[in-house]
């Protein structure tokens, strides 16, 4: 299983990703840009540039050359920002370059919500309003009703949001009675340790960006994953 990542992955984030697949699964992560770039605010223009980057396909090819049987583009905003057609273009680019099945975080989230039977969704996003509007439009174009969109309006340092804080925000501000599921957007959000706690509290499924991405790339690679404690989506996956 291979993940195309916009930038080099820090050890803490790698551990968060590995928590969704278990130690027995080899998770290969390839940054689009190998050298860390100067800190930049997460703006609409920046994310649109990520989505259009031709290096996304080349990173997927490098993963396939190292043995990845499927690849995923691990950036939520980068895969929804240009709408479903832009998302499909990233998938096509990666699949063409790598010659293996490909997906993106945004597409994986759609598949996850459909698998869980959700028709309406309440969303927590760390991003600015301009990006959150694109996320709402993407979800609606994919057939869902957005019951709530709560944005934290962060322009960076998303990994600093503590899991306990995320849980409190979802329970007190995000969930709605008419939402079938909750989606926590952004692969920078740390959710592995609280996702099942939130589901128990709300009595409904919770889908997160990293969880959905790894679930679908695992399916594409033929890797069955059953991960107790990581949400209903992975609890229902075949071992």
Cβ atoms of 141 and 167 within 8 Å: the answer is: no
Question: What one-character DSSP code corresponds to residue 76?
Answer: H
Q: Which residues form the domain of 69? A: 2-106+210-229
Q: Is residue 214 part of a domain?
A: yes
For residue 16, what pLDDT is reported? 92
Q: Is residue 142 part of a domain?
A: yes
Q: What tens digit of pLDDT does each residue of 153-184 get?
A: 998 889 889 999 999 999 999 999 999 999 99
Confidence of residue 25 (pLDDT cuts 50, 70, 90): confident
Q: Is residue 200 part of a domain?
A: yes
Instruction: Give the CATH number of the domain where residue 162 resides.
Output: 3.40.50.12500
In three-state secondary structure terms, 3 is strand
Same domain, 123 and 195: yes
**pTM over the 0.85 mark:** yes
Cβ atoms of 147 and 121 within 8 Å: the answer is: yes
What percent of the chain shows pLDDT beyond 70?
96
Cβ atoms of 72 and 103 within 8 Å: the answer is: yes
Q: Is residue 237 part of a domain?
A: no
Q: Is residue 234 part of a domain?
A: no
CA distance 50 to 191: 24
Q: What mean pLDDT do residues 210-216 have?
A: 96
Cβ atoms of 188 and 164 within 8 Å: the answer is: no
What percent of the chain shows pLDDT beyond 90?
82
CA distance 63 to 176: 40
For residue 228, what pLDDT is reported? 83
Cα torsion angle, 118, 119, 120, 122, sign? positive
State the DSSP string of 127-190: S-HHHHHHHHHHHHHTT-EEEEEEE---SS-GGGS-HHHHHHHIIIII--TT-SEEEE--TTS-
For residue 39, what pLDDT is reported? 66
In three-state secondary structure terms, 69 is coil
Q: What tens digit of pLDDT does each residue of 89-100 get?
A: 999 999 999 999
Task: Give me 163's structure tokens.
Answer: 């899991």
CA distance 32 to 130: 24
Q: Is residue 173 part of a domain?
A: yes
Ordered alpha helix ranges (H), the chain: 11-18, 44-51, 55-65, 76-80, 83-98, 105-115, 129-141, 163-169, 195-202, 209-221, 232-235
Confidence of residue 239 (pLDDT cuts 50, 70, 90): very low
Same domain, 48 and 28: yes
Same domain, 193 and 134: yes
In three-state secondary structure terms, 53 is coil
**Half-sphere exposure in the Cβ direction for 94 (13 Å, CA):** 33
Cα torsion angle, 205, 208, 89, 85, sign? positive
């Amino acid at each position: 299983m291979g993940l195309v990542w916009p930038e080099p992955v820090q050890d803490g984030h790698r551990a968060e990703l590995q928590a969704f697949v278990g130690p027995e699964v080899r998770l290969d992560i390839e940054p689009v840009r190998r050298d860390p770039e100067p800190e930049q605010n997460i703006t609409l223009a920046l994310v649109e540039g990520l989505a259009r980057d031709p290096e996304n396909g080349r990173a997927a090819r490098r993963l396939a050359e190292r043995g990845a049987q499927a690849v995923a583009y691990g950036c939520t905003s980068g895969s929804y920002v240009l709408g479903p057609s832009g998302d499909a273009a990233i998938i096509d680019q990666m699949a063409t370059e790598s010659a293996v099945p490909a997906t993106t975080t945004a597409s994986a989230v759609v598949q996850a919500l459909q698998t869980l039977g959700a028709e309406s969704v309440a969303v927590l996003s760390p991003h600015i309003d301009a990006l959150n509007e694109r996320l709402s439009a993407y979800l609606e174009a994919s057939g869902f009703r957005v019951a709530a969109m709560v944005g934290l309006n962060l322009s960076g340092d998303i990994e600093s949001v503590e899991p306990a804080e995320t849980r409190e925000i979802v329970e007190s501000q995000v969930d709605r009675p008419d939402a079938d599921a909750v989606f926590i957007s952004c692969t920078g959000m740390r959710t592995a340790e609280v996702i099942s706690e939130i589901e128990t509290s709300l009595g409904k499924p919770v889908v997160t960006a990293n969880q959905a991405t790894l679930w679908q790339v695992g399916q594409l690679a033929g890797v069955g994953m059953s991960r107790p404690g990581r949400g209903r989506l992975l609890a229902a996956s075949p071992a």
